[in-house]
Amino acid sequence: MGLTESDSDYDFMSEIKAFDDSKAGVKGLVDLGITKIPRMFIDQQFLLEKKSSVPGDLDVSVPIIDLEGVKEDLTRRAKIIESVRNASENWGFFQVVNHGIPASVLDEMIEGVRRFHEQDTEVKKGFYTRDRPRKVLFLSNFNLYKSQRATWRDTLSCLIAPGPLDPEELPGVCRDIVMDYSKRVIALAFTLFEVLSEALGLNPSRLNDMGCGDGLILLGHYYPKCPEPELTLGTCSHCDTNFMTILLQDQIGGLQVLHESQWVDVPYVPGALVLISNVLSLGFYEMKLHERPSECVNDDEKIHWTGGSKMEVKHISEIHSRVDPSYDRTSALKDFDETKAGVKGLLDGGVTKIPPIFVDQQLILDKRSAKSDSQFSVPVIDLGDVNKDSSSRAEIIDKVRNACEKWGFFQVVNHGIPRNVLDEMIDGIRKFHEQDTERKKEFYTRDLSRKVVYVSNVDLYTSKAANWRDSIFLFMAPRWPTLEELPELMSNDKFKSVNHRVLAKSNGPRISVASFFRTQPQLGDFPDSSRLYGPIKELLSEENRQIYREISARDFLTYKYSKGIDEASSLEHFKL
């Protein structure tokens, strides 16, 4: 296995430093004629996975999308967008053909990278550095000193944008093709960001306007022949750290993606480019883990187009499917709130269509996929005999337990509160909401330290869609539950805290009274409506809630580089 030292004598860091000081990369080892790989390259995790793996029975076809007509034919464009949406949701990546970059340019780009890596070592050493501010650098393993093992790969890195990059900084053997290919791939990225925007339900220009493609790092990877490919990887499994990766690979292949817990080979398709959508939507689309095994067939080149931005990514606030681009949601929310008349004030004003702030895209999606629920019977528990005897009480307790475990809620009858009290409570709420608006305004506030609060939508400025509801809060006792005291925590997930909602009805009004027994939170416990950076708001919903805190590109990359490149997603660090 290429191990000549005993475990007690082996010095991993010394071997790494000697390798790095040679400035010859992995190809330098191959040029020396080694027949066994140095110990620093042996990937124990890879060996363990190979020993425990079972033959894959996944019959899949890696998605290939034909971009022909994407700009000229609206019908064709719609089909392409749908294909991109499906591939992004189910795979996290896809290959594209007929993308507009000639095969001759692709071939010459591959050859340019080959020429650089196969030129005289002393010439390459002039570019060898770990100084990241350098726009053009040659090195082997970006994370050499942080990873537990090295990978079988050398890299030429070119920071193309934001620029401009002086062409004279590029190696002469590939200068012209790097500049030509970069211009073409930037144009392709602009189109792909448009398609991805539309696939996400956004305005076509949205992602480009956010600067997602303003940064370009071009990486020319070189994977030399490996004498023991069963012991190491060309690139360890990982998720890329940019908005989008466009990958050009040669005919050797070796790229794999993790799909449904199995590693799937990405076949070489002449003229195709691989697109990995990465952290584009922070959870809405998959971030695809991928790796590259070492191949002993031939030397191999791979070119990454790494699209990113140094700008911070802002919330997208427009509801694209319902309003025009000039719509200002924040102003609309403020105008509604300042009326202090609530939803009923809109009705009193004679509205015939609900304002855009109330349009709930998730509800629309739910209705499209809704199934009949006629087979369910909501639990109703009779409390009439709860204090009668131990047998009756035990039976009621059992029903409550079952309802809590399976539903998270239940209705009760014969609970001891007279019917006339219930009716009068409903009528009292009705009287309050239907009295003169000027009288109600005296109670309208968002100061939750007040004991009596009239308001429409407590979370008006933080929710994706406003609810068709006005509320009066009456804080009757000193304490009411904090978010940490949910039933899941108290029962260790045995009891559910049910998600629930109320439909807007064409008949009514509907009246309800909710009594919340919880500790009163301070204002700081509520989300800060002034936050600017984070997941794209239109992509958040009841089914796809925000799982990452707001971050800047600087925060993300600083953490990514501090921990090194490994298969653990850097986004785990930023989860809420």
pLDDT digits (tens, 9 = 90+) for 431-459: 888 888 888 888 888 887 777 888 888 77
- Both 398 and 477 in one domain: the answer is yes
- Adjacent-strand bridge partners of 291: 256
Query: Higher pLDDT residue, 364 or 413?
Result: 413
Dihedral (Cα; 403, 404, 409, 413), 10-degree rounding: 50
What predicted TM-score, i.e. pTM, was given to this entire model? 0.56
Query: Higher pLDDT residue, 103 or 142?
Result: 103
- Residue 315: is its pLDDT beyond 70? no
- Both 45 and 184 in one domain: the answer is yes
Looking at the structure of the chain, the number of domains it has is 2
pLDDT in tens, 520-552: 333 333 333 333 346 666 666 776 676 666 666
Q: What is the mean pLDDT of the segment spanning 215-230? A: 89
| Sign of the dihedral defined by the CA atoms of residues 188, 189, 195, 198, in that order | negative
In terms of residue numbers, what domain contains 509?
A: 329-537
pLDDT in tens, 346-386: 888 888 878 877 777 666 555 544 554 555 678 899 999 99
- Both 29 and 79 in one domain: the answer is yes
Q: Answer whether residue 387 is part of any domain.
A: yes
For residues 13 and 26, give the distance between their C-alpha atoms in angstroms, rounded to a whole number. 17
pLDDT of residue 492: 27
- Both 22 and 168 in one domain: the answer is yes
- Both 336 and 451 in one domain: the answer is yes
pLDDT of residue 29: 94
- Both 346 and 301 in one domain: the answer is no
- DSSP strands (E only) in 404-539: 411-413, 452-455, 471-474
pLDDT of residue 292: 55
- Both 38 and 183 in one domain: the answer is yes
pLDDT of residue 520: 32
For residues 557 and 388, give the distance between their C-alpha atoms in angstroms, rounded to a whole number. 66
Share of the chain above pLDDT 90, in %: 27
- Both 282 and 334 in one domain: the answer is no
Q: What is the mean pLDDT of the segment spanning 403-412? A: 80
For residues 75 and 210, give the distance between their C-alpha atoms in angstroms, rounded to a whole number. 27
Cα–Cα distances in angstroms (integers) from residue 446 to residues 338, 473, 513, in the given order: 11, 11, 19
pLDDT of residue 332: 80
Residue 170, burial from CB neighbour count under 10 angstroms (0-12, 13-18, 19+): buried
CB-based contacts of 540, cutoff 8 Å, min separation 6: 464, 546
- Kindly report the CATH number assigned to the domain that includes residue 194: 2.60.120.330
User: What is the separation, in whole angstroms, between the first and last Cα of the chain?
Assistant: 43
